[in-house]
Amino acid sequence: MKGAIPDEDQRGQDPVGEAPGDGLGAQDPVGEAPGDGLGAMADLLRDTVFPALGVVEEAEDGVHIELSGSRQVLTTDVFTVDPLEFPGGDIGRLAVCGVINDLAASGARARFLTVGLLLSASLDRRVLLRVLRSLGAEADRAGCRVVCGDTKIHQGAEPQMIITVTALGEPFGEHTYALAASRPGDLIGVTGPLAGHSIAVLSAREGLGFEHVTASDVAPLVNPVEAVVRRVPLRSLRDLTRGGLVGALWDGAFATGCHWQFEEASVPVDRPVRAASELLGMDPLLLTNEGVMLFTVDAAHADDAVAVLAEFPETSGTRIIGEIHASTSEEAEVTMVTADGRVRAVPYPYALGVPRLC
């Protein structure tokens, strides 16, 4: 639902409220599949959430709005993770970095945050204190501050904590960095190795042992992003959270109607993460990241973009991984050039079938 804007013609309508027209049976559970943030979530948003709220779908990380005569950028996100503390971070740091990166991907720096807490009555206060201190410290380092919020307690044991954060920020300039701005001939890049967050959290949750050699990639990317967009004319940015690289590539393909192609050998994945993914039967290209972005850039400026991002530790692993081509069919497509040079179609993922990670 990121970036959705109310449609004035639809406000006040209630298309889901009446049983004869909602298309739902007596019981129709949401299910777990939408939690992956892939095709199942797109279906839920398109078929239920957007019509009920009267919004127009704009699948970007933040929305640019006019507020008191100036342009601002707004985003909101909900965070839950098990365990609350994991190698490389915790839910507090995750929540702040998440909204900071959503705004950065929309060309803005977060300035003000609201924080909503839903806490289990059984939550250890010491854990709560550590998480809140982590959240506050990360916000302070990023130059934004918490200005209001709310706290509620529930009686169940799970979830231990859910954090909702809304961020309001100042745009770097006029460009919104939407995926739809990309065009044939642009190169596709990522700002670092993939899947570190997912493997660290899963390993810590299940006691797999990989938590000793992997850590979450959670990090605020606003400083490298602001530096690169001020020096290089990037076309688009996308935070590689739920759905991972493949989800973002398909979003780009749908937004542009183009053929997005990447090279398997060029995609950075750290060796322990790759080993853990293979052992678990999971594809790192589909897994959640919390400190990695995708970007597209005119080929003439690609080397400059990589050079600027390489100046920052959070994005020192930036790589160009592919190119956008004009589509040879009437449908968007995503393909991968395999290590042995074959071109393989990458199907649009509906759901991963793994527990929600964030």
List the Cα angle 304/306/309 in 5-degree steps.
Answer: 105
Q: How far, CA to CA in Å, does 231 sit from each of 155, 226, 227, 301, 330?
A: 51, 9, 6, 10, 36
| Cβ atoms 289, 266 nearer than 8 A | no
- Sorted by sequence, the CB contacts under 8 Å of residue 147 that are 6+ apart come out as 112, 113, 114
Q: How many CA atoms, within 13 angstroms, populate the side-chain half-sphere of residue 85?
A: 12
125: which residues sit within 8 A by CB, 6+ positions away? none
Task: Decide if 107 contacts 164 (C-beta within 8 A).
Answer: no
Round to whole Å and give the CA distance between 358 and 190: 20
pLDDT 10s per residue in the chain (358 long)? Answer: 453 333 444 333 333 334 444 555 667 888 877 776 677 887 888 888 888 988 876 667 889 998 888 999 999 999 999 999 999 999 999 999 999 999 999 999 999 999 999 999 999 999 999 999 999 999 999 999 999 999 999 999 999 999 999 999 999 999 999 999 999 999 999 999 999 999 999 999 888 888 788 999 999 999 999 999 999 999 999 999 988 999 999 999 999 999 999 999 999 999 999 999 998 889 999 999 999 999 999 999 999 999 999 999 999 999 999 999 999 888 899 999 999 999 999 998 877 655 556 5
pTM: 0.89
Residues 6+ apart with CB under 8 A from 278: none
**Domains, the chain, ordered by start:** 33-171 (3.30.1330.10), 179-345 (3.90.650.10)
